[in-house]
Amino acid sequence: MADVDSRTGTSYLTRPILDYLAATHVPHDEGLARAFTAPCREGLPAIQVGPLEGKLLALLLRLAGAKKVVEVGTLAGYSALHLARALPPDGHLWTIEVDENHARVARENLAAAGMSHRVTVVQGVGLEVLPTLEPHGPFDAVFIDADKVNYDRYGRWAACNLRPGGLLLGDNAVYFGRLLAEEEAAPAMRRFHEEAAVQFDTVCIPTPDGLLLGIKR
Ligand code: SAH
Ligand code: DHB
Ligand code: MG
C-alpha cells in the first residue's frame, strides 16, 4: 500500500475520487450550484476553482478569523461565494473583475445566494483597482486568481496591505504545469513564489494547479 510515489510527486487523486471527496465535503446548496454552473450557462470560461479548493479557501479564512478580504478575478462569483460565506456578519469581500459581463453574472449569483451585502464586485483592472481599496485595509486575506503575468505585483501589494498574520492565497501557483518554463507568465509566477517566501511563511498546497499559501510575518 504505502510507497514513495506520493513523495515523488505522483498524485493518487483520480476524477472519481475527487468527485467523491467534493460530494462528501462540499455538497452544493442552491447558491453554490448556481454560481458553479453559471460559466457553462452564460458562455463564460469554466475556470473557477474546484469545490475542494473553494472549501479550503473558506476554512483558511475561518482559521485566520478573516473579516476583510480582497479577491482578484471574480468570474461568476463561485470562489467569492465560498469566501463571503466564511466571513462574520460584519465582514466584507471586495472582488475585482475586469470583464463587465462576468461582473454582472457574479453580482446576480451573489444576490441569489443572499450575499450581496457582504460582497462588492468592483469592475476594473486589478492593478488599477487595488490602490482604491487601500483605505479599507489592512486586510486579513488576499486571494489572487487572475492576470497571471502580474502575480508578482499582486503579491507585493498583498505584502503591503495585509495585517501581520494575514493570508496570501494564490491559485494556479503551478501555472498549468509551466512554472519552470521561460514563457509568458512563468517568470512572474516564480517571482511571486520567491518574494512571498521572504515576506510570508509560505507553502504551496498541491491542488491540481497549486495554491500558494502565505501567512504575513
Ligand atoms: N476566482 C474565480 C475564477 C476567476 S477566473 C473562481 O474561482 O470562481 C479569472 C477572472 O479574472 C476572469 O473572469 C477574468 O475576466 C478576470 N481577469 C482577467 N484579468 C484581469 C485583471 N487584470 N483584473 C481583474 N480581473 C481580471
Ligand atoms: C485559467 C485561469 C484560472 O484561474 C484557472 O484556475 C484555470 C484556468 C485560464 O485562464 O485558462
Ligand atoms: Mg484559478
> Is cis: bond before 27, omega within 30 of 0?
no
Structural domain contains residue 181? yes
| Tally of structural domains, the chain | 1
Query: pLDDT tens digits for 111-140?
Result: 999 999 999 999 999 999 999 999 999 999
Give, for ligand 1, the residue of 55, 145, 152 to mutate: max count of ligand atoms closer than 8 Å to Cβ: 145
Query: pLDDT tens digits for 14-44?
Result: 999 999 999 999 999 999 999 999 999 999 9
**Contact predicate 19/27, CB 8 Å:** no
- The pLDDT assigned to 168 comes to 99
d(CA 62, CA 86): 6
Whether 192 shows a pLDDT value over 70: the answer reads yes
CB of 209 sitting under 6 A from ligand 1: no
Place of cell 473557477: 48
Q: Tell me, what CATH number does 184's domain have?
A: 3.40.50.150
Looking at the CA of residue 209, tell me the nearest atom of ligand 2.
Answer: 6
Residue 169, class by beta-carbon neighbours within 10 Å (0-12 exposed, 13-18 middle, 19+ buried)? buried
Domain, as residue range, for 69:
14-216
Predicted model pTM: 0.98
HSE-CB of 128 using CA atoms within 13 angstroms: 6
Pocket of ligand 2 (CB under 6 A): 47, 145, 171-172, 209
Grid cell in block for residue 64: 485566520
- Ligand 1 atom 10, closest CA: 73
Provide the 3-class DSSP secondary structure of residue 104: helix
Q: Which phi and psi angles does 60 have, rounded to 5°?
A: -65, -40
Structural domain contains residue 7? no
Structural domain contains residue 2? no
**CA 137 – ligand 3 centroid, Å:** 24
- Ligand 2 atom 10, closest CA: 47
